[in-house]
Amino acid sequence: MSSFELKIIAINKIFYEGQSKQLILPSTDGSMGILAHHEDAVIAVSVGELRIQTAEDKWIIAVTGAGHIQISNNKVVMIVDTVELPEEIDEQRALEAKERAEEQMRQDQSTYEYYMSKANLARAMERLKIKKKYTSGL
């Protein structure tokens, strides 16, 4: 299987940089897969599970925040607000964020505040799901 150059950048770090065989990411249209020589595109990335198959056939699983991905000339650059490995997720902090977001959703809010609360809730719930799914046996 051919590979492509992949770079994933979060606000606070370069999460991944190297050759990859496959990238599976959450987009606004659902889960999407990218292989080598994918058609050039710019795609919106949603909060959700991110899976990277490295050139060495190792899988890296993470949870990603919102952002976008650019595909051009067999190079993929993904820029997102957050990206975390399951073992990096602080479960207690995620639970507290979920509870805060749920409480905010119950309050009268402006349209902007409502969508921010909704995004915070989605991010917290996805972090909890990935933490449970991939670290339950640790």
Q: Which domains does the chain have, with CATH numbers?
A: 4-84 (2.60.15.10), 88-135 (1.20.5)
Q: Which residues lie closer than 8 Å to 26 by C-beta, 6 or more apart? A: 32, 45, 46, 47, 48, 49, 50, 64
Instruction: Assign 138 a pLDDT band (cuts: 50, 70, 90).
Output: very low
Does position 137 have pLDDT exceeding 60, yes or no?
A: no
3-class DSSP assignment, residue 107:
coil
**Contact, 9 vs 80, CB < 8 A?**
yes
Compute the average pLDDT of residues 35-46.
96
> What's the pTM value of the predicted model, to 2 decimals?
0.85
